[in-house]
């Protein structure tokens, strides 16, 4: 940082300060006091401003649309950035949205050989929500999900396939209500790269949007469900140092 030489011949502020200090006027008035105060304040703040301008500026890390920007390792689902939604036909009139509030997942990510990546995920059946008062408890009960007997729905991958830079498919086995069937999710990369790994700790993050569907009759759900149920997932996976010794 270059600090001005206040005593240099070409420095008007410096000459003025020196003149005032060495040759005070015989008659001091309010205008002189104000001028001196302003010059002193300027002499103090200008060097500080010059120093502040050279301080490094923190840049918030943003995701990029390149899956290889997230380095290999073990990632965990970020519980603060996840949405698991079931889309169910409401008697053919509309689509009802049911959200599951509790989910966890572990991802082993291999950006150089994406086909060797794998994931396991679990959703708590009793965490289903509905904006119809009291209906969530009924859905978690024995008539529908029977969460007391089958507390979790799980997905275990059997293969990753990248279709282009931003898209891929993840095949696996989905288990619900005590029944297991093959299920494939269409996955879209939202963003990847260095970022806040679920906290202020810096790590690597992969953000995705995934969609799949199931036949409710494959899982012994009530006969009233006659059309496929859509499953939509939006989440981030975080790579933390503690999980990658």
Confidence grade of residue 58 (pLDDT, cut at 50, 70, 90):
low
Buried b or exposed e, range 142-173, using 16+ CB within 10 angstroms: eebbbbeebebbebebeebebeeeeebebebe
Mean pLDDT of 139-164: 97
Mean pLDDT of 147-166: 96
Confidence grade of residue 241 (pLDDT, cut at 50, 70, 90):
confident
Structure tokens at 13: 């502020």
CB-CB contact of 60 with 196 (8 Å)? no
More reliable by pLDDT, 67 or 183: 183
pLDDT attached to residue 17: 42
pLDDT attached to residue 31: 52
Which sign does the torsion angle of CA 189, 190, 193, 198 carry?
negative
Least Cα distance to 72 among 227, 236, 192 occurs for 192
What is the distance between the alpha carbons of residues 125 and 245, in angstroms, rounded to a whole number? 33
Q: What is the pTM of this model?
A: 0.74
């Amino acid at each position: 940082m270059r600090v001005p030489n206040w005593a240099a011949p070409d420095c008007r502020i410096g000459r003025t300060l020196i003149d005032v200090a060495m040759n005070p006027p015989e008659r001091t008035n309010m205008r002189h006091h104000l001028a001196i105060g302003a010059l002193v304040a300027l002499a103090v703040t200008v060097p500080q401003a010059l120093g502040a301008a050279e301080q490094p500026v923190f840049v918030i890390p943003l995701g990029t649309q390149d899956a290889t920007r997230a380095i290999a390792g073990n990632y965990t689902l970020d519980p603060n950035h996840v949405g698991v939604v079931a889309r169910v036909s409401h008697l053919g009139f509309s689509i009802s949205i049911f959200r599951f509030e509790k989910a966890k997942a572990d991802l082993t990510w291999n950006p150089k050989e994406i086909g060797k990546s794998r994931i396991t995920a679990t959703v708590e059946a009793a965490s289903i929500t509905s904006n119809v008062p009291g209906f969530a408890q009924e859905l978690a009960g024995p008539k529908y999900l029977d969460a007391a007997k089958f507390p979790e729905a799980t997905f275990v991958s059997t293969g990753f396939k990248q279709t282009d830079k931003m898209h891929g498919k993840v095949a696996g086995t989905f288990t619900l209500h005590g029944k297991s069937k093959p299920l494939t999710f269409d996955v879209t990369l939202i963003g990847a790269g260095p970022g806040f790994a679920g906290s202020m700790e810096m790590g690597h993050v992969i953000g995705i949007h995934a969609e799949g569907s199931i036949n409710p009759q494959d899982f012994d759900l009530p006969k009233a469900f006659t059309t496929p149920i859509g499953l939509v997932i939006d989440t981030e996976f975080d790579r933390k140092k503690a999980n990658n010794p």
